[in-house]
């Protein structure tokens, strides 16, 4: 009986793709290039970036392969998004030495970390990070632009904390994607 069921799996897959909907549509992986990451960001932020560049800060600082995108929106608003293998670095609040605050927050059923450094007058406007610490990877959104004078959830930012949380919890941003192709149908599965 089990052999017959396994033989039917390809038929179910092919029939699911026959109408063009495809398995996993809407959750298809994106290439972890700056443009691919920017496409995911566009689904969560209602602003068009003026410029999209590679963002390699996590690669340099963590000394791991961490693909990222740097999105400049104008008005000084900057958003960096990266995906990195899990680390205990202070940059992802692995310890609490890098940021003024690291707090645990819940967003649509996901446990995230919200971190920020406050304004240093005449030097630095401060930064906000939202981090999804998954089993094998960390997805990071870094915002700078507006002056960070306290809890960023209470500030008027060019990219909100909720928007950053939506970005980092987007399943398309992952290092662990593999694609299987079946006659024009793409299936996505976690490695």
Count structural domains, the chain: 1
Residue 132 pLDDT > 50 = yes
Q: Mean pLDDT across the stretch 110-123? A: 95
CB-CB contact of 84 with 58 (8 Å): yes
* 175 found inside a domain: no
35: Cβ contacts below 8 Å, ≥ 6 apart: 52, 69
Residue 90 pLDDT > 60 = yes
Between the CA of residue 56 and those of 45, 84, 120, 166, what are the distances in Å?
A: 21, 11, 24, 21
Tens-place pLDDT, residues 16-62: 333 333 333 356 778 899 999 999 999 999 999 999 999 999 999 99
* 122 found inside a domain: yes
Q: Angle at Cα 174 formed by Cα 51 and Cα 32, nearest 5°?
A: 35
* 120 found inside a domain: yes
* Strands of the sheet with 68-74, listed across from one edge: 51-54, 68-74, 77-85, 137-144, 127-133, 110-117, 101-107
> Which residue(s) pair with 178 in the sheet?
189
* 158 found inside a domain: yes
Q: Mean pLDDT across the stretch 59-72? A: 94
Domain hosting 112: range is 34-169
CB-CB contact of 138 with 59 (8 Å): no
* 150 found inside a domain: yes
* 146 found inside a domain: yes
Residue 8 pLDDT > 80 = no
pLDDT for 94 equals 85
Tens-place pLDDT, residues 133-189: 999 999 999 999 999 999 999 999 999 999 999 999 999 999 975 443 333 344 444
53: Cβ contacts below 8 Å, ≥ 6 apart: 34, 69, 70, 72
* 19 found inside a domain: no
Q: For the ranges 44-53, 89-98, 113-122, 139-148, which has the lowest average pLDDT?
A: 89-98
Closest CA to 187 of 10, 2, 4, 7: 10
Residue 81 pLDDT > 50 = yes
Query: Residue 85's domain is classified under what CATH number?
Result: 3.40.1000
């Amino acid at each position: 009986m089990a052999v017959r069921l396994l033989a039917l799996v390809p038929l179910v897959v092919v029939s699911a793709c026959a109408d063009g909907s495809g398995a996993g549509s809407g959750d298809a992986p994106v290439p972890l290039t700056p443009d691919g990451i920017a496409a995911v960001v566009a689904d969560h932020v209602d602003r068009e970036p003026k410029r999209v560049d590679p963002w390699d800060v996590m690669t340099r600082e963590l000394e791991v392969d961490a693909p990222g995108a740097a999105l400049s929106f104008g008005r000084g608003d900057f958003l960096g998004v990266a995906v990195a293998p899990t680390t205990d670095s202070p940059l992802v609040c692995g310890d609490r030495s890098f940021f003024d605050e690291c707090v645990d927050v819940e967003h649509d059923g996901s446990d995230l970390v919200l971190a920020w450094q406050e304004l240093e007058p005449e030097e630095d406007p401060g930064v906000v990070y939202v981090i999804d610490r998954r089993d094998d990877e960390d997805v990071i959104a870094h915002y700078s632009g507006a002056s960070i004078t306290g809890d960023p959830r209470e500030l008027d930012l060019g990219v909100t904390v909720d928007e950053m949380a939506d970005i980092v919890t987007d399943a398309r941003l992952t290092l662990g994607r593999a694609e299987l192709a079946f006659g024009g149908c793409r299936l996505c599965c976690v490695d």
